[in-house]
Amino acid sequence: MTGAAGLRIGLGWAASGRPGSYAPLARYAEENGVDELVVYSDLLFRPPLGPLLEMAAATDRVQLGLGCLTPFTVHPVEIAGQVAYLDAASGGRAHLGLVRGAWLHQLGLDQRRAITAVRETADIVARLLRDDRSGMNGTVFQLAAGLGLQYDVHRDRIPLVIGTWSPRMAALAGEIADEIEVGGTANPDMAKVIRDLAAPGAERAGRDVDDLVVSFNPMLVVDEDRSAAEALARARGAMYVEAVGHLDPTVDLDPDLIERIRDLLADGDEEGAGRLVPAALLRRFLVCGTPSDVVDHLVELASAGVDKVYLGNPFGLDERRGLELLVERVLPAVRAAST
């Protein structure tokens, strides 16, 4: 587990920007002490590999995450190829994130064997990277004996991240992953919960669960004007309270409140939905406020046992200004907090 000075801070987002816009952002982030950049494969956003290749070409140090790929939309063989290419292009700075996948019911996909699918995907990717051609006869996926990548890889093992709130998927992460990521939370109490959920899998594999990296992926809205930052956070963050709030066992949600939020979101009224979210509840799911507020929140997360935080856009009232406040005021203060 980590303290404030050891907290790794990255940026994470679903890609919607224009081609060419990612290289300057990545260069700026690296030059100003951001540790990692992750682009998520959220449904109907730009596929993450393109933006990450721009980032790889523009940077030398920052780690790059191919985030939340799901084998229900991308076959494990293609996942292996994508992460291998990113790893080669970045000189060995890639990691791979696997998830069950959200919102896929809209595509009519059957996700009932999600745990098995993610396990078998991780197995196939690992086999292909180390050129193991013995084959695999899985329940969801198969890899015929003799099949292998037709090119050299940069590394024969790439760090694996599993993103989940699920107890069973968390146990799988404890068994096979390097990192477990909880999306849409900024709740310090969840750090112990998710590590405890991963512990049975770690025990099965003969691993120490404390060696598993725990990461959170909350939205960030930082500004000198606390009220303005909180207003935007409410409008943009109400969907996370509605979508994942019921998954947090440490939060007592009023079903009637969630139903009202859901109805307003369905009508496109994000501001109205946000106004219903109490401030204390909002801060369980995202990070917002002044730079000092954000520092305090991140230090609290680190003290609770969170090892990494991938902060998501919009970052601030204005994205560029939010990033400036993050790197100029927040990061130095977080890293000095335990000295």
Asked, for residue 314, whether it belongs to a domain, the answer is yes
Share of the chain above pLDDT 90, in %: 88
> Does residue 249 fall inside a structural domain?
no
pLDDT for position 311: 97
- The CATH number of whichever domain residue 118 belongs to comes to 3.20.20.30
- The reply to whether 328 falls in a domain is yes
pLDDT in tens, 145-180: 999 999 999 999 999 999 999 999 999 999 999 999
Q: Does residue 237 sit within a domain?
A: no
The domain of 103 spans 4-228+287-336
Answer yes or no: is 15 within a domain.
Answer: yes
pLDDT of 1 reads 41
**CB-based contact 190:210 (threshold 8 Å):** no
Indicate the pTM of the whole model. 0.94
243 assigned to some structural domain? no
Which of 164, 210, 185 shows the shortest CA–CA distance to 70? 164
What tokens were used for 105? Answer: 């019911």
pLDDT tens, position by position, 32-42? 999 999 999 98
| Digit-coded pLDDT (tens) for 101-136 | 877 788 888 888 999 999 999 999 999 999 999 999
At 2 the pLDDT is 47
**What's the rounded Cα separation, in Å, for the pair 294 and 307?**
16
The verdict on residue 190 lying in a domain is yes
Q: Name the DSSP class of 47.
A: P
Enclosing H/E stretch for 88: helix 76-89
* Residue 34 forms part of a structural domain: yes
Total count of domains within the chain: 1
